[in-house]
Chain A
Amino acid sequence: MVEVNLWSGLRRFADGQEAVEVEAKTVAEVLQKLVEAHPGLDPVIKAGVSVAVDGEIVQRALNHPVQPDSEVFLLQQFRGG
């Protein structure tokens, strides 16, 4: 299981949980399983989020691998200039 840390504004969509455990091997699976477990997160993820895996910020690399002991954070979508 991978522990996914949510930013506090999202906790109201995830039964108040600070972190959610999902079975996933890629970033795409992390996002899919999060929505399956907590459908309230669907519009957030559809609107765009970044995912940090072991300190690497992944936004569009949905096939990026995730290990059971990876440190995973859901972050707000990156916007650059």
Chain B
Amino acid sequence: MALDSKTEFKYIGTRPDRPDGMDKVTGKARYGADAYAPGMLHGAVVRSPHAHAKIVKIDASKALAMKGVKAVVTRADFATDLEGEDWDLLENTIAGEKTLYDGHAVAAVAATSALIAKDAAKLVEVEYEILPCVTDVDAAMADGAPVIRDGAADHSVPEGLHPNVVRYTEFGRGDVEAGFAAADLVVERDFKTEAVHQGYIEPHACLANLGADGKGELWCCTQGHWFVRRMCTALLGLETTQLRVTASEIGGGFGGKTTVFIDPIALALSRAAGKPVKLVMSRSEVLKASGPTSSASMNVKMGMTKDGKLTAATAVFRMQGGAFPGAPMDMTTMLAFSCYDLDNVHHEGFDVMTNRPKQAAYRAPGAPMGAFAVESVMDELCQGLGLDPIDARLTNAVKEGTKSSFGPRYKAVGLIETLEAAKAHPHYSAPLAENTGRGIASGYWMNWGGETSTSLAIGEDGTVQVGVGTPDIGGSRASMALMAAETLGIPYENVRVDVVDTASLGVNEPSHGSRATYASGLAVIESAREAITKLSKRAADKWGIDAEAVEWRDGAAHPSGPNAGDFTPLSIADIAGEMGSTGGPITGHHDASPTGFGGSFGTHIVDVHVDPDTGKSTVVRYTVVQDAGKAIHPSYVEGQFQGGAAQGIGWALNEEYIYDDDGRLQNDVFLDYRIPVASDLPMIDTVIVEVPNPGHPYGVRGVGETGITPPLPAVACAISHAIGHRMTRLPISPPRVLRAIQGKGIS
């Protein structure tokens, strides 16, 4: 769908109150754990304490004998004919022959109270035969490493690699050796990042009600309830449409709620007990057994001439995705050099299994790790050649028509505009205090369209209700209302937007890939246009003229000109008030898999102060510059920019999964797994750049994910400049900084 010629907007670009704000600040908003049903039971999950073990026997007799216990389920209660990704999903949901990581579900109990369920879970006796384990990506690829699952590798893996390498990719173009030979400076570095969790505040929670007839309902916190429906029905052997899934309000997802963990278990318990079952994860369960992102081991080599032109670049990314295929090495490789115009480039990626939980998507999955390595080397090249880091990026920046490092040519994109805006920002030229360094980095996320279905209905008073299928994880209800209001020409306050259940619309992909405002927004605009066509027809019929002679503007039907006749305009309320007697309800609907999504580039500036005595790093100033295409609700866009930066800062400075030699997670609560809190962060300044996306009527680009890509390298470069030592391993925790300052290495 092409960009409209419209450049003046009445509602888009304004900052009205968010429709969900009152409920959220008064505690009325209903999250996953707020669902209740008559006769409801509570579930608890039995989890493996071993990282890798054969399940010899499960004896639930003592648990079942406990008063109040109504059901126990194991793998035997799920579908048996699955293969491929569905089999992986089931194996991760509940273990079959082996447990594959610390916290892997083995069985589950339903009882009349949460306390009884927890006590009963402790009575389920599981006999294990402990197997050797591996949690580090490099160790998992080495000769002699324990094999997680033989035969898991797909067609892409060349012979001779360890069985834990399950997918492999390699691509590029040009002559990288000739390119490096033409460079005045070549820098090559190894990098490592740790696995980090999405850190959503709301744990996974659901209420399941499934009958023996295979019909059921599920209420859950999710980014995509159609995905939940498809996955759950596959794992339980049900017909897809017999399960109705309703998404609750969501307390953060960031990609981690695009899959299922406990929902199929709650449904299986409900089917076994014949009653509704509520299941809520503890924080420890969330950290142990829901998907963090991958950890990565990387090598990047880049060459540059003394005037700042990149001559060649290569990268190798080894990424572990837990005990299943799926580490996002494909996105890492495709996006690593996405900012730069390169004639000679080569990428290699390895997807490696370890005894860790199955990785899940996390905001721009795979991109931040690659950006950390590439932008750090870029920074070192600029430092070595005495070049301004923004000027050097401008020399190599991609623009419309540039052939991307992964192949296709870019359409209109805004990297150069973000670099120019960053250079012009007062932050970039502000003086630095002692022991403080400044980091610059750019990043990209290509965004996504996906299956989308929306509906819009006119109320009898001319107000409008909109139904969308993409859960609101970042303000999309306000954005949808603004786009509907703009298209219909009615006030924002006259539009109500609801995220409706799976029985109410066609299939919708989740709110992932930065697609909700783009794809659902585009469908809402088209739904509104369809409703306008119907409204105009009602006016034409009333006036006795052709529908083509009616023009819709400012929320009313007007004769399109003197030849159409002299009629008093009919407002949307006028037409809606009579619609029952002029042809019935007036609605609009749109279904699509739009492909005109436009990627978003961002450039970040950060100042970090390092205490030379303790190694503690403090972010003292931060500025995000990012291309939004067109900011529908600028406050929400700024919130996405700030959220991405905050999460990236946590990833860079503190967050990590720490396993002992037996593969047991050592920091499974927020006291030990340290996400940044408000007091750790400065006010994050934002600059919205608007280079319209040619594939959306109003120019929208998704903005949710790009913002987490530059912070890792930007923070690392700032610290490197502050202490005079290149930091190549995350998190850059105080002990690691202190070791670097003291010349003791950074491992």
Contact = CB atoms under 8 A, between A and B. Distances in A.
Interface of A: 5, 7-9, 13, 43-44, 47, 52, 54-61, 64, 71, 73, 75-81
Given A5-B407, A9-B171, A43-B154, A81 B451 contact: no
A57 B407 contact: no
Contacts of B155: 13, 43-44, 47
Contacts of B254: 81
B593 A60 contact: yes
B83 to A, nearest CB: 12
B156 A61 contact: no
Contacts of A76: 169, 330-331, 333-334
Contact-residue bracket for chain B: 35 or more
B365 A81 contact: yes
16 contacts: A7-B170, A8-B170, A43-B154, A52-B407, A52-B408, A54-B409, A55-B409, A56-B596, A58-B595, A75-B408, A76-B334, A79-B330, A79-B331, A79-B365, A80-B514, A80-B515
Given A9-B170, A47-B154, A57-B408, 17 more contacts: A5-B407, A7-B169, A7-B170, A8-B170, A9-B168, A55-B408, A60-B593, A76-B169, A76-B333, A77-B330, A78-B448, A79-B328, A79-B365, A79-B366, A80-B365, A80-B448, A81-B364
Contacts of A73: 406-408
A29 B110 CA distance: 50
Task: Give 10 closest A-B pairs by Cβ, nearest first.
Answer: A80-B513, A81-B255, A81-B361, A7-B171, A76-B330, A52-B408, A73-B407, A80-B512, A9-B170, A81-B365
B172 interface: yes
Interface string B127-144: 000000000000000000
B363 A9 contact: no
A6 B597 CA distance: 22
Q: Please classify the interface of chain B as helix (H, G, I), strand (E, B), loop, or mixed, using the class held by over half of its residues.
A: loop
A38 B176 CA distance: 29
Contacts, number: 92
A49 to B, nearest CB: 10
Interface of B: 154-156, 168-172, 254-256, 258, 328, 330-331, 333-334, 361-366, 406-411, 446-448, 450-451, 512-515, 593, 595-597, 695, 705
Nearest to A60: B593
Given A7-B171, A75-B407, A56 B330 contact: no
A60 B597 CA distance: 14
Nearest to A42: B155
A77 B515 CA distance: 16
Given A8-B172, A9-B169, A9-B170, A81 B407 contact: no
A58 B705 CA distance: 20
